[in-house]
Amino acid sequence: MVFESIINNWTILVPIIFSVMAILFTAFKDFILPWFFKPKLNITYSQEPPYKKGPVVKNSGSLFEVYERFKVENIGKEIAKNARCQVYQIKDSNNKSFDFQGYHLKWASRPESTQDFSKVERLNIAVGESEFVDLVYMRTDNTTNIYFNKYPSIPSGMDDSLPIGDYTITAIVSGDNFRPYLVSFKINKKLEFSGVKIVLEGVTRR
């Protein structure tokens, strides 16, 4: 009876079966596989090179800059697509907030693009590869401030510096195929010979 019913309605059942198979294949490809094969970022910082870069000579030797950078390494099983870094929040020792949310933090080795602004701040990080991000830098022509290394082609509408002080700077690292990472740094107003003192406080997921 059941077999006879299937035979009689095969023209209806075949499209339904193929539709269900297509849905299952799409779900497997877009949701199940990415769950097991996805990027995983390891974010680190150190007071030693190559995290600390400098002094970098500018203006024919009249200006020196020292950069503080953190590393973003993909230790997962899939390429990290369209990764970018921004300031999430900045607070001083009195818990006062500063308006830098959304400020684009520059990939240290990222070439400038004058063709498409949307491509400047985003890059792919392959499995096993890493990239450095410029967090802040010091300049010898003004040692009362710390500076952010901005993309010249992206207008931020914000200042690019803060007075020397005790701050907690939280950066957000986001992308197309992974949950964002929040990275918190403690910056000490006491300057050292090699630049500003920074401690990586922690890395969390959103």
Across the range 110-124, mean pLDDT stands at 67
- With a cut of 70, say whether residue 20 has pLDDT above it: no
Instruction: Could you list the beta-strand ranges (E) of the chain.
Output: 41-44, 52-58, 63-74, 80-92, 97-98, 104-105, 123-125, 130-139, 142-147, 161-163, 167-174, 181-192, 195-205
- With a cut of 90, say whether residue 8 has pLDDT above it: no
Contact between residue 143 and residue 125 where contact means Cβ atoms under 8 Å apart = no
Contact between residue 140 and residue 64 where contact means Cβ atoms under 8 Å apart = yes
Residue 54 confidence (pLDDT)? 74
Across the range 73-102, mean pLDDT stands at 94
Residue 139 confidence (pLDDT)? 84
Classify residue 122 by its DSSP letter.
-
- With a cut of 80, say whether residue 40 has pLDDT above it: yes
pLDDT-derived band of residue 80, with 50, 70 and 90 as boundaries? very high
Q: Residue 148: phi, psi to the nearest 5?
A: -105, 140
Question: What one-character-per-residue DSSP string does 156-200 give?
Answer: -SS-SEEES--EEEEEEEE-SSS--EEEEEEEEEEEETTEEEEEE
Phi-psi region of 131 (alpha: psi -120 to 50; beta: other; left: phi over 0): beta
